[in-house]
Amino acid sequence: MLAALGGCTWEWRKRRQRQRTVETSPATAAETTLQVLRHEGERFRPADVPVVPAAAWLSQLIRHYVQEEYGALALMLTTTELQDLLRGKRCGPELFDILVRCDALKYQAPSAASAEEQQLWWEAMTLFEKLEQGTSR
C-alpha cells in the first residue's frame, strides 16, 4: 500500500513538472518587445517626465527586436541599411516606417514631439501585438 502511494505521488510530481515547463516556455522576441512596450507605455502619464525621449527608446526597442528575431546587428546599422533587411519580412515595411518616424522625432523639441511620440508608441504596440499573434499560431 505504501509503495502504491509512493508511486502515485511520484507520477503526480512528474505531471506537475511537465505542466510547469509548458507554462514557462520561453517568450518570442515579439512577445518580449510587446511586454516592454506595454510597460514603458505607462510613462506617458502626465506626471511622468521621461529621461530618454520616447522616439529614441522606441527605436532602440525595435532594433533589439530586429537583432533578436533576424540575427542582424541592427543596433549598429543605420535605418536606411535596415530597410534592405526588413524588406520581405513579416511587418518589415511597418517596422521600417516606425524607425524612420522615430529618427525624425529624435531631433524635435520635446514639447513638439510628445504627442507624436505617444501616437508612434501606440502604433508600435499594435504592430507587435499583430506580430505576437502571428507567432503564437
Whether residue 20 is contained in a domain is answered as no
Whether 121 and 41 have beta carbons less than 8 Å apart is answered as yes
Whether residue 38 is contained in a domain is answered as yes
Whether residue 8 is contained in a domain is answered as no
In this predicted model, which residue has the larger pLDDT, 130 or 27?
A: 130
Whether 84 and 72 have beta carbons less than 8 Å apart is answered as no
Q: Report which of 40, 53, 56, 48 is spatially closest to residue 122, judged by C-alpha positions.
A: 40
pLDDT digits (tens, 9 = 90+) for 50-79: 556 788 889 999 999 999 998 889 889 999
pLDDT value of residue 101: 93
Domain count, the chain: 1
Whether residue 84 is contained in a domain is answered as yes
pLDDT at 109 over 80: no
Residues 6+ apart with CB under 8 A from 97: none
pLDDT digits (tens, 9 = 90+) for 22-48: 555 667 888 888 888 887 776 665 545
Whether residue 4 is contained in a domain is answered as no
Please give the model's pTM, rounded to 2 decimal places: 0.66
Domain with 94, as residue range(s), is 27-135
